[in-house]
């Protein structure tokens, strides 16, 4: 079978890590008999340099004509002085909007071999950790009405949190579908004791839950959820929440794992289309030095195979290869604690590809 993938290496370490993810993808193709047709396109700082725009129309067109998108990372000090609406990171918002990516999936898992990297005590994490945060990505306060106005207290600014029932319903379905394939537990996070939009959120999630009798639903206020994530993270399976709460909680969840270079993410549209990228940024401090950990991007490829292409065995094989290489003691500098073998970006990628 042939699959079309738009590839956006981006800036900083983006090209370094994407090269390794492509190597792994090609190895999967060889081993399992698939053809992956890759088309490289520009976004972010490199696109600004080449075309004057962070998200050229050609990139949007190629992404729309593909089955999935693989993205490295964008941004860097070279473009930091540009006004907000012209910065490389703006390309991410543009891609989400143009491609209709309304659901952001961020797994926070701990590989046994890396348990010591977590800032939490070993007894809190005994037995491992495997959470997915499902964040609504195209609604809420980040996209609501905003403005400035005069008030009795002087100049003021406002941003509006608004959710339509349909926006909540579709993200809740993504979360319940996912929970069905995992430990069958959804925790919906809101602030329903204060916010009207959260009360609507909670009501709609409860309605969706009726279609999934085998999945347990809990509701938590966001302040309590933030606390529970560090007190007892193992109580969670799938967390579903709004754009702003998900932004914060998914960063908190990823910090629990202690290794930013290990965590993948997926942003999904209606149907099977998705954009896959590591959760970290372009790490300009180590770009082009063969120091970046390519594993988050390689695991993003595994998510692509699983969620967009339905290639479960192939996704499992990549995850097993990552585990095998970690258990053999290979570590990029971000994970190296003095024991095992210190390797660079290219060797890590090659070893994972070879372990397939």
C-alpha pair distances (Å), 107 with each of 28, 50, 56, 90: 22, 34, 30, 24
Active-site residue 316, yes or no? no
At its nearest, how many Å lie between ligand NAD and the CB of residue 232? 27
In this structure, what DSSP letter does residue 112 have? G
In the annotation, is 163 catalytic?
A: no
- Establish if 292 lies at the interface with ligand NAD (CB under 6 A): yes
- Mark whether 159 is an active-site residue: no
Q: Which of 223, 285, 316, 354 is catalytic?
A: 223
Q: Which stretch binds ligand NAD (CB under 6 A): 56-64, 95-103, 148-156, 281-289?
A: 281-289
Buried b (16+ CB within 10 A) or exposed e, 286-297: bbeeebbbbbbb
Helices 295-307 + 14-32 axis angle, to 10: 50
Asked whether position 246 contacts ligand NAD by CB under 6 A, the answer is no
Backbone angles phi, psi at 76, to 5 degrees: 165, 165
For the packed helices 243-257 and 222-231, what is the interaxial angle rounded to 10 degrees?
10
Q: Please state, in angstroms and rounded to a whole number, the distance separating the CA atoms of residues 67 and 172.
A: 24
Q: Output the six-digit token pair for 115.
A: 């348990």
d(CA 98, CA 4): 18
Among 200, 281, 314, 355, binds ligand NAD (CB under 6 A): 281
Tell whether residue 89 is a contact of ligand NAD (CB under 6 A).
yes
Is residue 74 within the footprint of ligand NAD (CB under 6 A)?
yes
The DSSP letter of residue 36 is: E
Nearer to ligand NAD, 117 or 195 (CB): 117
Residue with smaller CB distance to ligand NAD, 220 or 278 = 278
Number of residues that bind ligand NAD (CB under 6 A): 22
d(CA 205, CA 86): 37
Residues 181, 312 contacting (CB under 8 angstroms) = no
Q: Of 43 and 321, which CB lies nearer to ligand NAD in the complex structure?
A: 43
Q: How far is the CB of 274 from ligand NAD (least distance, A)?
A: 15
Is 97 an active-site residue?
A: no
User: What is the C-alpha to C-alpha distance for residues 176 and 180, in angstroms, rounded to an integer?
Assistant: 6
Between residues 280 and 306, which has the closer beta carbon with respect to ligand NAD?
280
Q: Which of 20, 187, 267, 282 binds ligand NAD (CB under 6 A)?
A: 282
Quick one: which segment of 54-62, 245-253, 290-298, 346-354 binds ligand NAD (CB under 6 A)?
Answer: 290-298
**Does 283 participate in binding ligand NAD (rule CB under 6 A)?**
yes
Closest of 197, 208, 200 to residue 171, by C-alpha: 208
Nearest approach in angstroms of CB 77 to ligand NAD is 7
Q: Determine which one of 67, 78, 142, 323 is catalytic.
A: 142
Q: Distance between CA 276 and CA 300 in Å, rounded?
A: 5
Minimum Å gap between C-beta 228 and ligand NAD is 25
Does the protein bind ligand NAD through residue 22 (CB under 6 A)?
no
Rounded to 10°, the helix 295-307/345-355 angle is 40
223 flagged as catalytic: yes
CB of 10 to ligand NAD, least distance (A): 6
* Residues found near ligand NAD in the complex (CB under 6 A): 13, 17, 73-76, 89, 92, 260-261, 277, 280-286, 292-293, 296, 334
> Active-site residues: which are they?
142, 191, 223, 247, 251
């Amino acid at each position: 079978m042939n699959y079309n993938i738009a590839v956006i290496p981006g800036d900083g370490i983006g090209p370094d890590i994407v090269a390794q993810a492509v190597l792994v993808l090609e190895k999967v193709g060889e081993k399992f008999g698939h053809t992956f047709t890759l088309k490289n396109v520009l976004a972010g700082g490199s696109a600004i340099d080449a075309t004057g725009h962070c998200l050229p129309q050609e990139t949007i067109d190629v992404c729309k004509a593909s089955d999935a998108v693989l993205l490295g990372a964008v941004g860097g000090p070279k473009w930091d002085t540009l006004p907000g609406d012209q910065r490389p990171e703006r390309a991410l918002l543009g891609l989400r909007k143009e491609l209709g990516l309304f659901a952001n999936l961020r797994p926070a898992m701990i590989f046994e071999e890396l348990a010591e990297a977590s800032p939490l005590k070993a007894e809190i994490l005994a037995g491992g950790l495997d959470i997915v945060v499902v964040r609504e990505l195209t609604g809420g306060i980040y996209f609501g009405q905003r403005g400035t106005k005069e008030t009795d207290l002087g100049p003021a600014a406002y941003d509006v949190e608004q959710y339509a029932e349909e926006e909540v319903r579709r993200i809740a379905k993504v979360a319940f579908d996912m929970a069905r394939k995992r430990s069958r537990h959804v925790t919906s996070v809101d602030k329903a004791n204060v916010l009207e939009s959260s009360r609507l959120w909670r009501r709609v999630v409860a309605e969706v839950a009726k279609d999934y009798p085998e999945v347990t639903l809990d509701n938590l206020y966001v302040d309590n959820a933030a606390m529970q994530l560090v007190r007892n993270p193992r109580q969670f399976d799938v967390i579903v929440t709004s754009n702003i709460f998900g932004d914060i909680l998914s960063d908190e969840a990823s910090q629990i794992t202690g290794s930013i270079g290990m965590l993948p993410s997926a942003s999904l549209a209606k149907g099977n289309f998705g954009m896959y990228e590591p959760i970290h940024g372009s790490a300009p401090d180590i770009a082009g030095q063969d120091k970046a950990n390519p594993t988050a991007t390689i695991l993003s490829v595994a998510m692509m195979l699983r969620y967009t292409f339905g290639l479960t065995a192939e996704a499992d094989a990549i995850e097993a290869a990552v585990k095998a290489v970690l258990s053999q003691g290979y570590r990029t500098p971000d994970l190296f604690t003095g024991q095992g073998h210190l390797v660079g970006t290219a060797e890590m990628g090659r070893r994972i590809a070879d372990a397939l």
